[in-house]
Amino acid sequence: MYFDDNMPGGSIAVDIPIGEGNLAISPYADAFFKSGLKFYNAGASILIKKIDGESANFYFGGGGGFARLDVSVGGLGGALNGFAANGIAGVEFAAGESMNIFVQGKYIIAFGDLDGVRNFAAQAGISIPFGE
């Protein structure tokens, strides 16, 4: 949920571990939709993951990429493009041997044609670990 105009949406990301530590690079793509508005955000973030106990992992980080806002109202429309930066904090819980559940908050700031777009998105979903 992107809280600017209550826009629901979806996200996909892949966390790729860096070395043996708690760092990961996470390419992502977000899309939020509401009648007449479509907001897209794609790029990569650096995450710091902290393992807390056996069932929960806390993480935080930030990154950036590109953003696009498509507007269509009353037969008129247009698109604005720009760069975007984000800050992320979340927690991931084990939901079995091969699946996790996560909840995260993402603060998105856009620049360029989209200067002034700054808002918070709450995201929840399923993550599937590979190669562990």
Give the CATH fold of the 9-127 domain. Porin (2.40.160)
How far lies 32's CA from each of 4, 21, 91, 97, in Å? 10, 33, 22, 31
DSSP H or E segment with residue 16: strand 16-18
Q: What is the pTM of this model?
A: 0.82
CA gap 24, 45 in Å, rounded: 8
The pLDDT value recorded for residue 94 is: 84
Strand partners, 77: 72
pLDDT digits (tens, 9 = 90+) for 31-87: 988 888 888 999 999 999 887 666 788 999 999 999 998 888 777 888 889 999 999
Q: Would you kindly state where each structural domain of the chain is located, as residue ranges?
A: 9-127
Tokens of 33: 């939709």
User: How confident is residue 5, by pLDDT bands cut at 50, 70 and 90?
Assistant: low
Convert the pLDDT of each residue in 102-131 to its tens digit. Answer: 999 999 999 988 887 888 888 999 988 776
Return the pLDDT at 23: 92
